[in-house]
C-alpha cells in the first residue's frame, strides 16, 4: 500500500475530549461538545460511518413495531427527532408515506391498526402527516401487483427516508466549523489507553500506515463504537470491562429499480412475526432487514445465502406474480446492531432499542445501544456531564441548529460527476480512501449502482495518477479501474 502523508502528524498533544468511533452517535457527541467550545478529537479505525451507521434501513422513524412493546417513550422521542431532522437537513431526508398491507388471519385487524396509527400520530405531537386507512380496492389501485388473497386493506402512515451515511458525515463537518479547534480523522486506531490521574494517555496508530504512531493525552475519553464496544474495551485491562451487548446482524439487499411495481415504501410482516421494509430509491429498491445472532469479526460483513433467500422469499409472498430471483439483486450489505443484553428476553427481536451509558473510570465514558434516529439526544447525558465539569454552561438545544456544510454530492439527485467534482470532494470532505469516495461521498454502494453517462473507468482512470497521491487504493479498487496494481504490502 502506498505510503501517503498521515494526518496523525496533525494531531495536537492534548485534547479536552477524544471521541472514539465515527458512527452517527459518536459524530453527534463530537458535534455537541464542539458546539460548546471544547477542543475535541474524533477518530475511527475505518472510514467514518462505514459500518453500522451506513447499514441501516435508511429511515428516520419512530418505530411502529415498538408500539406493540408499549415502548411509548422511545417512539415519542424518535418521532420528535425524526421531524426535527426533516427541518434541519431537508437535503438529506424527506417525509414519505408507507403502506402497511393488512391480511385476514395474518395481521391484526384494521380497527386495531387504526388505533395504533392514531397513537403514532399522537406521539408525534401531530407533526406527522395524518395516517389513513385504505380499503382493499384503494390498496390495489396503488399497488396492483400486491397479493390480493385475504387482503382487507392497509394502513398508510408517514416516516422519513434518509441518506444515513451523509447525515453522519455532515454532522462531523458541522463540528469542524467551530473555532474551538476540534479535529476529526478516519483510519486512526486506538492501540493503548492508560488512565493516569486526571488525564488519559492514548497511543494512536494510522491504520493505513501502521508505521505511523503518536501518543496524545485527553481529559476525557468517550467510546461510541456500537457493536465493537465489548471487543475493544476488553483490550484495556484497566477498565475491567464486562460485556454488555447482544449483537444482532441485519442484512439488506438492493434490487433493480424495475424489479417491483411500487411507487412508495412498504412495511411488511413476515411469518416469524418480524417486519421488513421495501423502499424504492431513484435507481434501486432497498429491502431489509434480517435479524440474526452474530459472533466474531463485525467489520465489513455481508449477507449469508440464507439471509438473502429469507428476504427474497418474503417478498415473493407479497408479490406472487412477479418472477423475482437473485438475478434482480444489484448489491447487498450487512451491519450489526449494538443491542444491550436483556435478561428478560432471549429473542433478538424482543430486545428493546434503549441505550445505556457506562463510566468504568471517572473520565472514561461508554455509550452503547439505541437507534439511529435518536442519535442527537442519546449522548447528551455524557456531553452535559463533561461540559459542566469544564465549568461551562450546557445548552441541550444547541444541536438543534441547521447543519452548515452540505455534501458536495447530495442524495436523491441525478447530477453528472466530473473530474472537478471528484477533486472538490477530496479537498472539502477530507477523504482518505477510494472506497470512501465512491460509496459514501459519491453515494455509489457498488459499481453495479453506477448509472452515469461516463463509465467508472472512463471517469477515474485518466485522473488516477493524481488520485493515487492523495487517496489509498486497494487491489480491488485498482482492478476495478483497470490500472496497474503497485500496492506494497
pLDDT in tens, 430-481: 999 999 999 999 999 999 999 999 999 999 999 999 999 999 999 999 999 9
Q: What is the mean pLDDT of residues 165-193?
A: 93
Q: Is 273 left (phi over 0), alpha (psi -120 to 50) or beta?
A: left
Q: What is the pLDDT of residues 395-444, one digit of tens each?
A: 999 999 999 999 999 999 888 999 999 999 999 999 999 999 999 999 99
CA angle 110/116/117 to nearest 5° reads 90
Distance CA 214, CA 204 (A): 5
Q: What CATH class has 7-52+165-244+350-400? A: alpha beta
Q: How confident is the model at residue 489 (pLDDT cuts 50, 70, 90)?
A: very low
Sign of the CA dihedral running 443, 447, 452, 454: positive
Confidence of residue 12 (pLDDT cuts 50, 70, 90): very high
Q: What is the pLDDT of residues 24-69, one digit of tens each?
A: 999 999 999 999 999 999 999 999 999 999 999 999 999 998 998 8
Q: In the predicted model, is pLDDT for residue 487 greater than 70? A: no
For residues 311 and 332, the answer to whether their CB atoms sit within 8 Å is no
pLDDT of residue 488: 41
C-alpha cell at 207: 491504520
User: H-helix or E-strand containing 451?
Assistant: none
Query: Would you call 192 helix, strand, or coil by DSSP?
Result: strand
CATH number, domain 94-161+246-337: 3.30.9.10
CB 54 within 8 A of CB 165: yes
Residue 423, Cβ density class (10 Å: 0-12 exposed, 13-18 middle, ≥19 buried) = middle
pLDDT digits (tens, 9 = 90+) for 76-103: 999 999 999 999 999 999 999 999 999 9
Domain ranges of the chain: 7-52+165-244+350-400, 94-161+246-337, 419-481
Q: Chain-centre distance of CA 433, in angstroms?
A: 19
Decide if 254 contacts 398 (C-beta within 8 A): no
- Average pLDDT in the chain: 93
The beta strands (E) that lie in 175-291 are given as 183-186, 188-196, 199-206, 209-223, 248-256, 266-269, 275-281, 284-288
Report if pTM > 0.75.
yes
| Residue 57 contacts residue 277 (beta carbons within 8 Å) | yes
The 3-class SS string of 255-318 reads: EECCCCCCCCCEEEECCCCCEEEEEEECCEEEEECCCEECCCCCCCCCCCHHHHHHHHHHHHHH
Distance between CA 205 and CA 208 in Å, rounded? 9
Amino acid at each position: 500500500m502506498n505510503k501517503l502523508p498521515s494526518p496523525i502528524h496533525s494531531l495536537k498533544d492534548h485534547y479536552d475530549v477524544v471521541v472514539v468511533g465515527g458512527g452517527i452517535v459518536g459524530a453527534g457527541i463530537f458535534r455537541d461538545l464542539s458546539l460548546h467550545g471544547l477542543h475535541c478529537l474524533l477518530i475511527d479505525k475505518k472510514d467514518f460511518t462505514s459500518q453500522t451507521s451506513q447499514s441501516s434501513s435508511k429511515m428516520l422513524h419512530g418505530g411502529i413495531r415498538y408500539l406493540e412493546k408499549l415502548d411509548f417513550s422511545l417512539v415519542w422521542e424518535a418521532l420528535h427527532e425524526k421531524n426535527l431532522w426533516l427541518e434541519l437537513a431537508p437535503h438529506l431526508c424527506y417525509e414519505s408515506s408507507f403502506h402497511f398491507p393488512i391480511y385476514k388471519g395474518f395481521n391484526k385487524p384494521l380497527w386495531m391498526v387504526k388505533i395504533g396509527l392514531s397513537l403514532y400520530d399522537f406521539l408525534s405531537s401531530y407533526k406527522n402527516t395524518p395516517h389513513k386507512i385504505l380499503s382493499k380496492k384503494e390498496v390495489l389501485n396503488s399497488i396492483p401487483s400486491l397479493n390480493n388473497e385475504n387482503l382487507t386493506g392497509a394502513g398508510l402512515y408517514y416516516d422519513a427516508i434518509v441518506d444515513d451515511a451523509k447525515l453522519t458525515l455532515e454532522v462531523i463537518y458541522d463540528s469542524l466549523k467551530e473555532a474551538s479547534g476540534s479535529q476529526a480523522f478516519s483510519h486512526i486506531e486506538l492501540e493503548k489507553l492508560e488512565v493516569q490521574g486526571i488525564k488519559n494517555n492514548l497511543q494512536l496508530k494510522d491504520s493505513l500506515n501502521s508505521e505511523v504512531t503518536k501518543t496524545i493525552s485527553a481529559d476525557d475519553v468517550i467510546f461510541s463504537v456500537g457493536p465493537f464496544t465489548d471487543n475493544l474495551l476488553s483490550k484495556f485491562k484497566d477498565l475491567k470491562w464486562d460485556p454488555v451487548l447482544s449483537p444482532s446482524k441485519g442484512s439488506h439487499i438492493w434490487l433493480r429499480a424495475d424489479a417491483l411495481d411500487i411507487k412508495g415504501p412498504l412495511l411488511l410482516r413476515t411469518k416469524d412475526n418480524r417486519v421488513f421494509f421495501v423502499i424504492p430509491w431513484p435507481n434501486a429498491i432497498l429491502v431489509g432487514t434480517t435479524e440474526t445472532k452474530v459472533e466474531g469479526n463485525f467489520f465489513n460483513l455481508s449477507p449469508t445465502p440464507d439471509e438473502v433467500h429469507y428476504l427474497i422469499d418474503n417478498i415473493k409472498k407479497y408479490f406472487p406474480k412477479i418472477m423475482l430471483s437473485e438475478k434482480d439483486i444489484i448489491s447487498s450489505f450487512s451491519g450489526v446492531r449494538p443491542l444491550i443484553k436483556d435478561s428478560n428476553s432471549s429473542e433478538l427481536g424482543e430486545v428493546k432499542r434503549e441505550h445505556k451509558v457506562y463510566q468504568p473510570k471517572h473520565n472514561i465514558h461508554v455509550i452503547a445501544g439505541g437507534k439511529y434516529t435518536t442519535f442527537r439526544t442519546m449522548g447528551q447525558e455524557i456531553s452535559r456531564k463533561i461540559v459542566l465539569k469544564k465549568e461551562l454552561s450546557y445548552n441541550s438545544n444547541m444541536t438543534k441548529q441547521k447543519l452548515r456544510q452540505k455534501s458536495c454530492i447530495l442524495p436523491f439527485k441525478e447530477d453528472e460527476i466530473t473530474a472537478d467534482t471528484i477533486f472538490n470532494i477530496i479537498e472539502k470532505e477530507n477523504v482518505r480512501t477510494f472506497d470512501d469516495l465512491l460509496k459514501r461521498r459519491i453515494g455509489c454502494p457498488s459499481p453495479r449502482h453506477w448509472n452515469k453517462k461516463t463509465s467508472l473507468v472512463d471517469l477515474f482512470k485518466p485522473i488516477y495518477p493524481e488520485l493515487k497521491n492523495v487517496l489509498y487504493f486497494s487491489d480491488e479498487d485498482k482492478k476495478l479501474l483497470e490500472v496497474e496494481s503497485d500496492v506494497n504490502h
